[in-house]
C-alpha cells in the first residue's frame, strides 16, 4: 500500500467528522467572533460594523455584571461542596459498610435524571409556606420564605439543587480512583499503627489528587454550561439575582433577539472555557506522566 | 470490576460508640440524598390532598399519571425523544468509529492539528454556540426538525477520543492478519476493531443516551412544535409554574419522563456506574 493511498483513506475516514465539527463548532466559533463586532440586523437594515462597542457596553451592563458575579458565586459555592461530598460518598460506598449498593444508588440516582424533571420537583420543595422546606423549617419555628422569589436566597436555592444533582456524578470518578489504590498500602499502614484519619490525610487524599483536579475542571465547566434549572425555577430572577452567563446569552439571543450582543457575550464565555481548557490540558498531560 | 474495599487500618480497635455514630452518619447522608426522589414518588402516587400530608394509610392512585398523560401529548414526546436519541446514537457510532480509526491506525499529514481541533469540542459544547448554530439551521432550513437537534452532537469529540483509546489497544498483529486475508480498511475495522471494543461502545452508548435524554437547552431553542419537541422540552412547556398544574401531576409527569432511564438504571446499575467510570478515566 502506498503512502499516498493511506493519506486518502485516512482523510476519507475523517471526512464526516471533520465536516460536522467545522460546521457546528469551528466555523460558528469564528463567526461568533466576527459577529460580535457587528450590531444586530433589524428588518431591512443590514448589520453595521460597530467595533468593540459591544464589549465596552458590557462593562456598564448591570445584567452582564450580575451574571458574571452570580456565575462566580455559583461556581465557588457549588464546586468545592460537591467535590467534598463526592469524595465522602466514594469513601462510604468503597468501605465495608452494609447496604453500600443501596447507598451508591441513592447518591448516583439524581445524576441520571433530567435536570428539568428534578427542577420541577424542587420547585415544589421551595414553594413558600406550602413546600417541603418551609413545612420542615416551620417545625422549628422558622417563618416561611419565598426561597426562589427572594433576591437573597434565589441563587443559593439553585446551588443547593446543583450540589444534590452533581455530587453523585463526581463520586463515580473518585470510586474509580479509590479502587485503583493498592490494598497493600492500607495493610502496611495498619501494621505501623496509623489511624484512619492519618491514613486518609497522608495516603488516600494525595493519591486522589489527580482525580480531584480532573473533577474540579469539569465541575467548573459544568457550572458555566448547565442552566436548565435556571430556566425552570427562576428565569434569572428576581431582578437578575440568579442569572447565569449562559442564561443571559440565551435570553439576549432568543428573548430580545439581539444576536450581535449575544455574540459578544458568547465570546466572553468562550474565553473563560478556553482558559479552563488550557489548565485542563496542562493537568491531564501531567497526569499521564504521573501514572 | 471487583469492588476491592479500601482497607481500613485499625478498625477493630475503634469499634463501639463512635463507629456506630459514623455508620449512622453514612446512612443519614444516603437518606438525605434519596429523600427528594422518594418524596416525588410519594406525591405522584397519592391524591393531591396528600402532597404535604404524610400519611401511610393514604390511598394509592395512578390518577396523576393518567391526568398528566392526557394533559399533554406525552406519547408524541416519547416518540420524538426515542427517534432523536436513536438518530444521534447511530450517527455518533458511525462517524466517531471512522474518525477514531483514522486517528488510531493511520499516519497522515496534519494529524496532530486535526486531533487538537477535534478536542476543542470537549470544551465548547454545541449549546454554548447556540446563536450561530441556530443561524446555520435557519440557512439549512432545518429549524424544528430532528436533524437540527442532532447534527451538532453527531461528531462527538468525546466519542472519537474514547474509541481512539480503545482502538489503540488492539494488537497490530490482528490487524496484519486480517490484511493478509485481503480485508480492506473498512473490513478490518468492522471485523477486528469494532468487535474488540464492544464494552467501550456500551459505555459510550449509555453516556450518550442519558445525555441526550436529559438535554434541554438546545432542543428548547431549536424546536417549536409538538411534532418535534423531545420529552424535556415537552415537560418544560407542560409544567411551567404559571400553568396552574397541580404538584402531584407535575411529579407524575417528571417521573414519567425519567422512567425509562430510571428503569434502565435499576436494571443495569453496574454497567451504568462502570460506563460512567470508564467514560471518566481518559
Test the B interface: residue of A84, A124, A163 with most B CBs within 10 Å: A124
Beta bridge partners of A38: A49
CA-nearest of B95, B99, B97, B127 to B212 is B127
SS3 B92: helix
| Helix (H), strand (E), coil (C) string for chain A | CCHHHHHHHHHHHHHHHHHHHHHHHHHHHHHHHHHCCECCCECCECCCECCCHHHHHHHCCHHHHHHHHHHHHHHHHHHHHHHHHHHHHHHHHHCCCCCHHHHHHHHHHHHHCCHHHHHHHHHHHCCCCCCHHHHHHHHCCCCCCCCCCCCCCHHHHHHHHHHHHHHHHHHHHHHHHHCCCCHHHHHHHHHCCCCHHHHHHHHHHHHCHHHHHHHHHHHHHHHHHCCHHHHHHHCCCCCCCCCCHHHHHHHHHHCCCCHHHHHHHHHHHHHHHHHHHHHHHHHHHHHHHHC
pLDDT of A7 reads 87
pLDDT bracket for residue A287 (50, 70, 90): low
Beta bridge partners of A49: A38
Contacts (Cβ under 8 Å, ≥6 apart) of B252: B43, B44, B64, B65, B67, B68
SS3 B124: coil
Residue B202 has pLDDT above 70, yes or no: yes
In the 8-state DSSP scheme, what is residue B73?
A: T
Residue B266 resides in a domain: yes
Domain co-membership, B127 together with B53: no
Inter-chain CB proximity A277 and B11 less than 8 Å:
no
Assess contact for B103 and B111: CB atoms under 8 A: yes
Domain co-membership, B268 together with B138: yes
Distance CA B218, CA B147 (A): 12
Percent residues over pLDDT 90 in chain A: 46
pLDDT bracket for residue A2 (50, 70, 90): low
Inter-chain CB proximity A13 and B106 less than 8 Å:
yes
pLDDT of B5 reads 53
Assess contact for A158 and A74: CB atoms under 8 A: yes
Assess contact for A24 and B121: CB atoms under 8 A: no
Domain co-membership, B144 together with B228: yes
Q: Which residue of A has its CA nearest to B152?
A: A24
Alpha helices in chain B (DSSP H): 17-44, 63-71, 74-105, 111-123, 130-140, 146-154, 157-168, 172-180, 185-188, 194-196, 198-214, 217-222, 231-238, 247-267, 269-280
Distance CA B235, CA B251 (A): 11
Distance CA A236, CA A242 (A): 5
Q: Which residue of A has its CA nearest to B24?
A: A97
Domain co-membership, B98 together with B188: yes
Contacts (Cβ under 8 Å, ≥6 apart) of A242: A70, A148, A154, A155, A158, A230, A234, A236
Residue B73 resides in a domain: no
Task: Please give the mean pLDDT across all residues of chain A.
Answer: 87
A209's grid cell: 489528587
Residue B6 has pLDDT above 70, yes or no: no
The domain that holds B211 is classified in CATH as 1.10.3720.10
pLDDT in tens, A42-67: 877 888 888 888 999 999 999 999 99
Domain co-membership, B43 together with B146: no
Chain A residues whose CB is inside 8 A of the B117 CB are 21, 26
pLDDT of A239 reads 86
Inter-chain CB proximity B8 and A227 less than 8 Å:
no
For chain B, first and last CA: distance in Å? Answer: 17
pLDDT bracket for residue B281 (50, 70, 90): low
Q: What are phi and psi of B188, to 5 degrees?
A: -60, -45
Inter-chain CB proximity A17 and B7 less than 8 Å:
no
User: Which of B70-74, B151-155, B179-183 has the highest mean predicted lDDT (pLDDT)?
Assistant: B151-155
Residue B10 resides in a domain: no
**Per-residue b/e over A262-291, b at no fewer than 16 CB within 10 Å?**
bbbbbbbbbebbeebbeebeebeeebeeee
Residue B79 resides in a domain: no
**Count of A-B CB contacts under 8 Å:** 290
pLDDT of B133 reads 95
pLDDT bracket for residue A288 (50, 70, 90): very low
Inter-chain CB proximity B127 and A11 less than 8 Å:
no
Residue B24 resides in a domain: yes
pTM for the predicted model, two decimal places: 0.89
Q: Show the domain range for B39.
A: 16-61
The C-alpha angle A169, A174, A178, rounded to 5 degrees, equals: 150
Q: Which of residues 99-138 of B touch A (CB under 8 A)?
A: 99, 101-103, 106-109, 111, 114, 117-136
pLDDT in tens, A65-123: 999 999 999 999 999 999 999 999 999 998 888 888 899 999 999 998 999 999 988 98
Q: Average the pLDDT over B59-77 and give the result.
A: 88
Domain co-membership, B57 together with B97: no
CA-nearest of B154, B151, B146 to B230 is B146
Assess contact for B99 and B118: CB atoms under 8 A: yes
Q: Average the pLDDT over B156-161 and give the result.
A: 92
Test the B interface: residue of A7, A14, A15, A188 with most B CBs within 10 Å: A14
SS3 B257: helix
Domain co-membership, B123 together with B186: yes
Q: Average the pLDDT over B48-75 and give the result.
A: 82
pLDDT bracket for residue B249 (50, 70, 90): confident
Domain co-membership, B94 together with B40: no
Residue B247 resides in a domain: no
DSSP secondary structure string for all residues of B159-211: HHHHHHHHHHTS-HHHHHHHHHTT--HHHHIIIIIHHHTHHHHHHHHHHHHHH
Domain co-membership, B42 together with B100: no
Q: Could you tell me how far CA A259 lies from the centroid of its own chain?
A: 24
Domain co-membership, B127 together with B265: yes
pLDDT bracket for residue A289 (50, 70, 90): very low
pLDDT in tens, A178-226: 888 888 887 888 787 777 888 888 888 888 888 888 888 889 989 998 8
Residue B214 resides in a domain: yes
Overall domain count for chain B: 2
Domain co-membership, B265 together with B130: yes
pLDDT of B1 reads 42
Assess contact for A150 and A89: CB atoms under 8 A: no
Chain B residues whose CB is inside 8 A of the A163 CB are none
Inter-chain CB proximity A269 and B251 less than 8 Å:
no
Task: Please give the mean pLDDT across all residues of chain B.
Answer: 86
Residue A13 has pLDDT above 60, yes or no: yes
Distance CA A20, CA B151 (A): 7
Q: What is the ipTM of this complex?
A: 0.88
A86's grid cell: 463526592
Residue B38 resides in a domain: yes
Domain co-membership, B99 together with B230: yes
Chain B residues whose CB is inside 8 A of the A122 CB are 36
Amino acid at each position: 500500500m502506498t503512502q499516498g493511498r493511506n493519506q486518502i483513506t485516512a482523510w476519507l475516514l475523517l471526512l464526516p467528522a471533520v465536516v460536522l465539527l467545522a460546521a457546528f463548532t469551528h466555523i460558528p466559533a469564528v463567526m461568533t467572533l466576527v459577529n460580535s463586532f457587528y450590531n444586530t440586523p433589524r428588518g431591512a437594515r443590514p448589520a453595521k460594523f460597530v467595533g468593540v462597542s459591544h464589549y465596552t457596553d458590557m462593562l456598564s451592563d448591570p445584567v452582564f455584571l450580575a451574571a458574571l458575579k452570580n456565575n462566580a458565586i455559583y461556581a465557588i459555592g457549588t464546586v468545592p461542596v460537591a467535590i467534598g461530598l463526592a469524595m465522602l460518598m466514594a469513601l462510604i460506598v468503597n468501605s465495608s459498610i452494609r447496604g453500600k449498593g443501596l447507598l451508591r444508588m441513592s447518591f448516583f440516582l439524581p445524576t441520571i435524571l433530567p435536570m428539568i424533571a428534578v427542577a420541577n420537583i424542587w420547585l415544589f420543595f421551595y414553594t413558600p409556606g406550602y413546600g417541603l422546606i418551609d413545612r420542615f423549617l416551620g417545625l422549628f419555628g422558622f417563618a416561611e420564605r419565598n426561597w426562589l422569589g427572594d433576591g437573597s436566597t434565589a441563587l443559593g436555592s439553585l446551588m443547593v439543587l446543583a450540589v444534590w444533582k452533581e455530587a453523585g456524578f463526581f463520586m463515580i470518578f473518585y470510586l474509580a480512583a479509590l479502587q485503583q489504590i493498592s490494598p497493600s498500602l492500607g495493610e502496611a499502614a495498619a501494621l505501623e499503627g496509623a489511624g484512619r484519619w492519618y491514613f486518609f490525610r497522608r495516603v488516600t487524599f494525595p493519591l486522589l489528587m489527580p482525580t480531584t483536579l480532573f473533577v474540579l475542571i469539569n465541575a467548573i465547566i459544568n457550572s458555566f454550561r448547565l442552566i436548565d434549572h435556571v430556566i425552570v425555577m427562576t428565569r434569572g430572577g428576581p431582578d437578575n439575582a440568579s442569572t447565569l452567563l449562559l442564561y443571559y446569552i440565551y435570553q439576549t439571543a432568543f428573548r430580545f433577539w439581539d444576536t450581535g450582543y449575544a455574540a459578544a457575550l458568547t465570546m466572553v464565555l468562550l474565553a473563560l472555557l478556553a482558559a479552563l481548557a488550557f489548565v485542563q490540558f496542562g493537568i491531564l498531560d501531567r497526569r499521564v506522566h504521573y501514572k | 470490576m471487583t469492588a476491592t474495599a479500601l482497607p481500613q487500618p485499625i478498625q477493630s480497635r475503634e469499634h463501639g460508640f463512635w463507629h456506630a455514630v459514623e455508620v449512622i452518619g453514612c446512612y443519614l447522608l444516603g437518606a438525605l440524598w434519596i429523600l427528594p426522589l422518594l418524596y416525588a414518588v410519594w406525591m405522584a402516587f397519592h391524591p393531591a390532598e396528600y402532597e404535604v400530608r404524610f400519611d401511610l394509610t393514604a390511598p394509592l392512585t395512578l390518577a396523576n399519571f393518567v391526568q398528566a398523560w392526557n394533559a399533554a401529548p406525552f406519547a408524541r414526546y416519547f416518540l420524538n425523544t426515542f427517534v432523536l436519541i436513536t438518530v444521534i446514537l447511530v450517527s455518533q457510532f458511525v462517524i466517531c468509529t471512522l474518525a477514531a480509526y483514522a486517528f488510531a491506525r493511520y499516519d497522515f499529514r496534519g494529524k496532530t492539528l486535526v486531533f487538537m481541533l477535534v478536542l476543542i469540542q470537549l470544551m465548547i459544547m454545541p449549546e454554548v454556540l447556540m446563536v450561530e448554530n441556530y443561524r446555520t439551521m435557519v440557512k439549512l432550513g432545518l429549524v424544528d426538525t430532528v436533524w437540527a437537534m442532532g447534527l451538532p452532537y453527531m461528531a462527538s469529540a468525546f466519542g472519537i477520543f474514547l474509541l481512539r483509546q480503545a482502538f489503540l489497544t488492539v494488537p497490530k498483529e490482528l490487524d496484519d492478519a486480517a490484511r493478509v486475508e485481503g480485508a480492506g480498511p473498512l473490513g478490518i475495522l468492522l471485523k477486528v476493531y469494532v468487535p474488540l471494543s464492544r464494552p467501550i461502545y456500551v459505555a459510550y452508548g449509555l453516556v450518550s443516551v442519558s445525555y441526550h435524554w436529559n438535554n434541554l437547552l438546545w432542543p428548547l431553542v431549536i424546536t417549536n412544535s409538538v411534532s418535534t419537541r423531545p420529552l424535556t422540552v415537552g415537560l418544560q412547556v407542560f409544567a411551567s409554574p404559571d400553568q396552574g398544574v397541580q404538584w402531584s401531576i407535575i411529579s407524575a409527569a417528571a417521573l414519567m419522563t425519567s422512567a425509562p432511564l430510571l428503569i434502565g438504571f435499576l436494571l443495569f446499575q453496574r454497567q451504568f456506574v462502570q460506563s460512567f467510570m470508564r467514560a471518566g478515566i481518559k
